[in-house]
Structure 1
């Protein structure tokens, strides 16, 4: 407890038995070492509130934090592992069973190996590195992996056992509205200022289409800002410009409702008008990260073919234009939402 540790060629600190605590230590690695902080054959061990700093010229060829096979009941919490040096082969290596890993920051580690079962890994930040789950010690016991932030190139590989890292979701859309070119804004003049929302709000989150019609001249400039709410109740904004979008364009977001449409920088040689309508894209309530996250769609009681090309992971949308969408159709979209934040 409360030591400054350095290179030792093998393990900087290892408990050969338990119960025990490794806490509040600063470990600086500026040469070649094997492991940082580890438990050997000990169970009932806490490794917490340590900083493992692999600086220039330093390397950890094995792992920064490790538990052994056949051990159990470990808590690994509130540690920082950071590297500006040569390598951290594994930021975390869990071989024991029954553990909690929480509140840690792993920066610039090459990999993470989770081979023990019956554990909770939550509320950590992983910068880069592949996280591999292979619970060979007791694959019948689940691992809960949730509420972590995966930054940079951090990825997850599931090879065996049961790992809970997704929430099963289904969104129901009943008696949907048909697509409409002018459902929200109908034939308003293209002039600077706030635009009257002359139409009706969508019943479910929908993608928007906009068309500008030139009348007696050419439109050469505008900035249109659309503000509204998405399926999660969050405020969203789409901004369109003449240079980027032309006279016909669609929103990135799906709008549950539109709160305002504002025009600025309009350059119009005539009396152009414009409309805003709804298209066949439906917005989902929860975040999706992969096209494979959407796995089943029921339309009017019949199972449909799910196409990855119709899944928009940037804006959590499924485009029904291929399946087709008409007035009074009912849809149920089944998908999974990762319990971790990936960016």
Structure 2
């Protein structure tokens, strides 16, 4: 089993580390209500988007804001929260490290430290007891799997118990700048939602332009990014091809590759969690790995853990000619 070197077993003690994020190790009713609103309001916007786009269309400005903000937040999650902060797939110069923390926060998927702690725990117990969001939680029958898919996709976020951050992310808590970014998650959320209507209003110089930009660039964008990210937890642990050895049921789901910025090549990730590239086979698009390569060439990222051919083949369970 491969785990992050930053997971430290210290029981229930905090080791004197400062508080990292809003709230403690359990969710209150107010926070659960806020979470429900942040899930349902953007989702309802997506439902409304279909008839609105059909009847009135969507402007190029609104579409550009949706796509631009989507991939900014998505790469902030995949490159920053996931590959860098959670798994240490590469090291980053201080400005890039801060920028990745902010970009990931703009995805509105929770505070940095909490996100990393949850994901490190997921890898420690992947698809076994203790995994925060395995779709196999309730069994392997069809009804159990349907219930498990719901749990893995979004139900787990309403669990009152939280992953102990002082156990799973002490390295991030000790960094004052990252701790501050994590604690200011509410402000990053407001900024993320405010950018599209501000741009839309200024460009069109109208309240209508601000309103449509907020609808498409804020609400619809957040909902799409949320459900694509959550699909990695649910769909990619239930279906997909598995050309690499892993101790869980992680699979490659090709049709999510572009929208997930390469995260849906999930089987390789669980076979080799610290790899900076997830799409390692022919034709596997991985935009996150491409951006990391650019950052490496610019000198912003270093000690990148690129998988060698020998490293890839050593983890295969299928013939070398197989592609996912």
The verdict on a shared fold, with TM-score over 0.5 as the criterion, is no
TM-score (norm 2): 0.20
Q: Which has the higher strand share?
A: 1
Q: Which has the higher helix share?
A: 2
Between 1 and 2, higher relative CO (CA 8 Å, sep ≥ 6) is seen in 2
When Rg is computed on C-alpha atoms for both structures, the one with the higher figure is: 1
